[in-house]
Amino acid sequence: MEQFRQLKRFSEEFENFMGELQVVPLVSNAKKRKIEEKPLEIKKPLYDQDNEYNYSFLPKEIVLKIFSHLNSKDLAIAGQTCSLWRSLSKDESLRRCVVIRDRIDCENEFRGSLFQKELLLWNGIISSSVLTSLDFQPFANNLTRVYIRERSMNVSELATWIRICSNIRILSLRDISILPSESYNLPENTHLTTLFLDRVLIDNNAKNFFKHLLKICKKLKSAFINNIKCKRFLNLIFPCSSTIEQLNLAGFRNEFDDDLAWEICKTNLESLRELDISEATDLTEEGFSLLCKRTKNLEVLNISRCCLITTKVLTANLDYLPNLKRLYAFQTYTERALKMLIYFLERRKIWFKPNGRLYRIADCPLPQCERVEMRV
């Protein structure tokens, strides 16, 4: 019993001793004062309770870099996130492309979301009414692409756009009507490299404007001129720039004839690599031979639905195209297609797809031709 009482007394004294014990770190008084005086820094988290994300945490340079990779709709949506992103979405460095229409349905364009007119400018879509209410001069030099859709405009208005947007590279006109005006002022030179004209109704008195436009396009590389509703339009605007590499003149049917081929060949066509003259129903052997002789560096040729270019004419003139790699001849007559197949079959191995519609030839000659397609 005595031993039990001594053990109990020892345990009580040990508990009292541990309760009074203090742990002192081995830190000098000077260092301790520095630690106490140093202010406590609390970093702002990316996530907080008031806002799902703290967008102001990212530097502005990073946000602008991210915005530069967004399309028009995503950029407009991002601009509604917070006030900072809204202001950054209007930065002039992001303004590269603009699409102009007469009427804009915001619900259809942006899936039910409504935005302010200014927000539609940044790589987006604007209506023609916005053109008169906003000043385009501050960001006009940054625009490189202008798409004009579904509206009517005169040549003076179009010339103003080309003059103000001095760094424009791509100009696209689709489903519009071009009206004449008494005067217009085009610049002496332009950086335009690509011109799209598709389903454009041009007044006869406005044709000279496009002739003047092609003359000042000293750096023009690609021209897509399709379905123009204007009499003898192509004969007037050619010859075009000698720097052109890709020329698409599809859909003119009766307007593309030997006279037009002669007008085109007045230009130096040594840089031309791709030529599309499909549906040239009035182009004869003489005009086609002239084109082949003047386009010796041609790599892609499309003669689909050219009724007067027979197999004999084609094979006789392909020797003038030593660099030809692709030849397209869709919707030709069965007899012509079979004769052409026999012509190539006699010289190289071909791959024949017997579906009755499409014949595709790979690695065929005349010379180094990689692909020939025909439909019957």
Q: The CATH number of the domain where 84 resides is what?
A: 1.20.1280.50
Based on the fold, state whether residues 119 and 186 are members of the same structural domain: yes
Whether 13 is in a domain gets the answer: no
Based on the fold, state whether residues 251 and 165 are members of the same structural domain: no
Based on the fold, state whether residues 51 and 123 are members of the same structural domain: no
Q: Which two tokens stand for residue 27?
A: 């830190």
Based on the fold, state whether residues 121 and 67 are members of the same structural domain: no
Q: Which residues pair with 194 in a beta bridge?
A: 170, 222
Based on the fold, state whether residues 200 and 154 are members of the same structural domain: yes
Name the pTM for this structure.
0.63
| Domain coverage including residue 344 | 245-360
Q: What is the pLDDT of residue 257?
A: 80
In whole angstroms, what separates CA 85 from the centre of its chain?
25
Based on the fold, state whether residues 201 and 131 are members of the same structural domain: yes
Q: Domain total for the chain?
A: 3
Based on the fold, state whether residues 266 and 211 are members of the same structural domain: no
Based on the fold, state whether residues 111 and 62 are members of the same structural domain: no
Q: Which portions of the chain are predicted below pLDDT 50?
A: 42, 45-46, 49, 104-127, 129-130, 132-134, 333-335, 347-370, 375-376
From residue 106, give the alpha-carbon distance in Å to each of 81, 119, 123.
18, 11, 15
Q: The CATH number of the domain where 318 resides is what?
A: 3.80.10.10
Q: What is the pLDDT of residue 35?
A: 56
Q: What is the pLDDT of residue 355?
A: 34
Based on the fold, state whether residues 102 and 206 are members of the same structural domain: yes
Based on the fold, state whether residues 178 and 272 are members of the same structural domain: no
Whether 19 is in a domain gets the answer: no
Whether 270 is in a domain gets the answer: yes
Whether 22 is in a domain gets the answer: no
Whether 131 is in a domain gets the answer: yes
Whether 271 is in a domain gets the answer: yes
Whether 240 is in a domain gets the answer: no
Based on the fold, state whether residues 111 and 212 are members of the same structural domain: yes
Q: Are 310 and 284 in contact (CB under 8 A)?
A: no
- Start-to-end CA distance of the chain, whole Å, equals 118
Q: What is the pLDDT of residue 27?
A: 54
Whether 279 is in a domain gets the answer: yes
Q: What is the pLDDT of residue 113?
A: 40
Based on the fold, state whether residues 175 and 123 are members of the same structural domain: yes
Q: What is the pLDDT of residue 158?
A: 85
The Cα–Cα gap between 317 and 334 comes to: 21
